[in-house]
Structure 1
Amino acid sequence: WVLPIETAALAIRVSKPCSIRAQSSQVVSVVMEPQQVKEGYLVKRGTVLCSWKAVWVVLSDDAVEFYKRKTDSSPKAMIPLKGSTLTSPCQDFGKRTMVFKIRTEKKQDHFFQASHSEEREAWVKDIRRAISCLEAGKRFARKSTRRSIRLPETVNLNELYMLIRDQDNGVKELKLEIENKTYNHCFTGVTVVDWLISKEKARNRAESVMLATGLMNEGYLQPAGDLSKTGASGGTESVFLDESDAIYFFADSGFFCEGYSSDEDDIVKEEFRGNIIKQGCLLKQGHRRKNWKVRKFTLRDDPAYIHYHDPAKGDEEPLGAIHLRGSVVTAVEFVPDAKRYDVEGNLFEIITSDETRYFLQAASADEKKEWIQAIQAVSKTGK
């Protein structure tokens, strides 16, 4: 979608605290710059050639912008959300799953593909919220039920989340198996409620559920599995479930859910047998041309492998596999032969037992830290 430039109505979006929009040739008004809501890698279908390519996507409260590279200063295009509709899942492309569709007010369709279901759900949830806020004439805000659940304004949910997320004293992330599905980096509703009481953040289970519901509605905790998702979306109010079968995860964790079948185990390659510990998109430097490309990485624990795919082509065959047993992974500040404009920081390196070097680039410092910790743990314990 290309924003038309007209003499009577001109809209300018700039990365400053405010922007100037001329509503007519005589009247100029100053409005607040759109608020950035979410960003990350997605695969997008081209509108002309219809090919699928990985792009850097930024969601603001009134539009979706996408960039060829994360380091680019200006987007390839902007998709306005006012009057748009969203379809998820979008099943227009057969075997290509995890796709959602944005149809603009002018009936133009834009297709995006996430790397896994939880990532797609997170994007869809925020885009739908942005559209509904625009329809109501409100600034973007994730659904909050402070009043309906009587959560005091004095409660600092961000501060509470930092405590509950603490690696040493917070809620521990586990691998749980429920109804033929494996949930990685998650925890139960009961665990959260018990933690809040044990840390004297709540006097009883009812207060704990109220606090946990607030954390969930503000996006800090996410539901996983049918039971917890039903509680989050059922009725007029979202409810956090104090149950051992209700699964949740931290919004910024490496959570991933996979199904499994014993009938399939015999035909799966040995290196694919391990449980998925973490997955997502990273930039990888090529060994020959030294250029950087977006790759989807999947980390497994036993045997210890990390596979990488072209996210635009799906998971049919990996482009490569890194055997992590005995490998070393560390953060680095410099990458040999790297083009300056391709490197924004958040770099780390994997050196395998046969001294093969892989240079990777995460989207943020937190993401880099999570990948390093996960790979280090697998390299020590996996076969």
Structure 2
Amino acid sequence: MEPQQIREGYLVKKSSLLNYWTAVWVVLSEDGLEFYKKKTDQSPKGMIPLKGAAIISPCQDCGNRTLVFKITTHKKQEHFFQASHVEEREVWVKDIKGAVRCLQGGKRFARKSTRRSIRLPDTINLTELYTQLRDQDEGVKELKLERENRIFNHCFTGSTVVEWLVSKEKARNRPEALMLATGLLNEGFLQPAGDLSKDGAVSGEKSVLLDQTDALYYFADSGFFCEGYSSDEDTLVKEEFRGNIVKQGCLLKQGHKRKNWKVRKFILRSDPAYMHYYNPTKGDDPLGSIYLRGSVVTAVDFVPDAKRYDVDGNLFEIITSDERHYFLQAATAEERKEWIEAVQEVSKSGN
């Protein structure tokens, strides 16, 4: 049987020969990790076998670089990858570890079966329940909470989820609600945020959502982001960087002059409404910014002056209030939809 594809996306990889980093398109399958120079390439630059491999995350071997994880193959070859944010690194590491574990046990890759592990009734529709939980008017409210000397944006507590399930009569009592909430966690609809909830999610063979006010969680497709406190002695941050981070990740961006496409890390902020873009292989200084107040964003089918082999669908365009055009390309149709909706919301509500 052909190996199952598990995950794909942009990561930054350290060269195995020289000390430089490049953005690559990575495809994780059941038996290995393939990486490509471009998403549209037919042949990979390399393949990392996962049988007998070890994964270290976070990895501190790369100086000032953060968000790095390391894969060491059974032949002791080391491969370093860097994600664009913490949550992205954690989902990659989780799936890679799962693939390694399945290879060792001679099994096909499969994420945890919630229904088998907690005996969830077949009549429960977790997708429908999640949709109701996310409803902007009637669902659980996403908040900005401070815990563990950090600020957690777009999150909520475990006890809030349990109380919502009981109050909306989705469960008869708190134990039953906790079972449903754990089902949402195990199926990936909810994600742990913070050390306490993460410990609960990996304790033993069964992940458990904690019915506690200090256990934090977030919706899998939300704009969750965690940031540390800033010292009063820190340099005053530019006004445009003061907004809350709504969404972040890597996209392809077309250059204004050469019209070539390069992988860029984007961070979308609200109040004020800015979208900064960075070279994901470099430091924290942005290459540029897009002021979004009053801008228009739409999906497009083609881009002027684009070389055909450089584009692979999932295109969208941002037109700013001063008539500057930015052409971007997402990895998937769903990702494009999420970015468009996030930018639209910020352009209307942000200052």
1:49 aligns to what? 18
**Which amino acid is the alignment partner of residue 92 of structure 1?**
D
1:151 aligns to what? 120
User: Which secondary structure does the structure 1 equivalent of 2:28 belong to?
Assistant: strand
The offset of 1:265, in angstroms, is 5.8
1:13 aligns to what? none
1:189 aligns to what? 158
The offset of 1:218, in angstroms, is 2.5
1:85-139 CA-to-partner distances (Å, cap 9, x unmatched) read 1111111111011110111111111110001111111111111111111111111
1:328 aligns to what? 296
1:341 aligns to what? 309
**Which amino acid is the alignment partner of residue 322 of structure 2?**
D
Q: Is the 8 A contact 1:265 1:273 kept in 2?
A: no
State the TM-score, normalizing by the size of structure 2: 0.93
Structure 1 residues 139 and 188, CA gap change in structure 2 (3 angstroms):
same
1:79 aligns to what? 48
State the TM-score, normalizing by the size of structure 1: 0.85
User: Which secondary structure does the structure 2 equivalent of 1:288 belong to?
Assistant: coil
Paired residues in the alignment total 351
User: Which secondary structure does the structure 1 equivalent of 2:118 belong to?
Assistant: coil
Alignment partners' CA distance in 2, 1:166 and 1:78: 42
Structure 1 residues 373 and 209, CA gap change in structure 2 (3 angstroms):
same
**Which amino acid is the alignment partner of residue 325 of structure 2?**
R
User: Which secondary structure does the structure 1 equivalent of 2:226 belong to?
Assistant: strand
Structure 1 residues 263 and 117, CA gap change in structure 2 (3 angstroms):
same
**Does residue 330 of structure 2 align to residue 357 of structure 1?**
no
1:308 aligns to what? 277
User: Which secondary structure does the structure 2 equivalent of 1:177 belong to?
Assistant: strand
Residue 257 of structure 1 is aligned with which of 212, 216, 226? 226
**Does residue 347 of structure 2 align to residue 370 of structure 1?**
no
Give the % identical residues. 75
Residue 93 of structure 1 is aligned with which of 43, 62, 67? 62
Q: Which moved more, 1:240-249 or 1:287-296?
A: 240-249
The offset of 1:262, in angstroms, is 4.7
Q: CA RMSD in A?
A: 2.0
Alignment partners' CA distance in 1, 2:40 and 2:170: 42
Note the 1:21-32 alignment, pairs <5 A: 32=1
Q: Which moved more, 1:257-266 or 1:101-110?
A: 257-266
**Does residue 234 of structure 2 align to residue 281 of structure 1?**
no
**Does residue 105 of structure 2 align to residue 136 of structure 1?**
yes
Alignment partners' CA distance in 1, 2:298 and 2:139: 25
Q: Is the 8 A contact 2:223 2:245 kept in 1?
A: no
1:357-380 CA-to-partner distances (Å, cap 9, x unmatched) read 111111122211221222222222
1:126 aligns to what? 95
**Which amino acid is the alignment partner of residue 51 of structure 1?**
Y
Note the 1:236-247 alignment, pairs <5 A: 236-247=205-216
1:107 aligns to what? 76
Structure 1 residues 168 and 341, CA gap change in structure 2 (3 angstroms):
farther
The structure with the largest alpha-carbon Rg is: 1
1:5 aligns to what? none
User: Which secondary structure does the structure 1 equivalent of 2:175 belong to?
Assistant: helix
1:25 aligns to what? none
User: Which secondary structure does the structure 2 equivalent of 1:111 belong to?
Assistant: strand
Alignment partners' CA distance in 1, 2:2 and 2:17: 30
2:183 aligns to what? 214
Alignment partners' CA distance in 2, 1:220 and 1:69: 30
User: Which secondary structure does the structure 1 equivalent of 2:63 belong to?
Assistant: coil
Q: Which moved more, 1:152-161 or 1:302-311?
A: 152-161
Alignment partners' CA distance in 2, 1:185 and 1:67: 33
Q: Is the 8 A contact 1:85 1:102 kept in 2?
A: yes
Alignment partners' CA distance in 1, 2:150 and 2:292: 25
Gaps of 5+ in 2: none
The offset of 1:60, in angstroms, is 1.1
Alignment partners' CA distance in 2, 1:94 and 1:111: 12
Structure 1 residues 199 and 72, CA gap change in structure 2 (3 angstroms):
farther
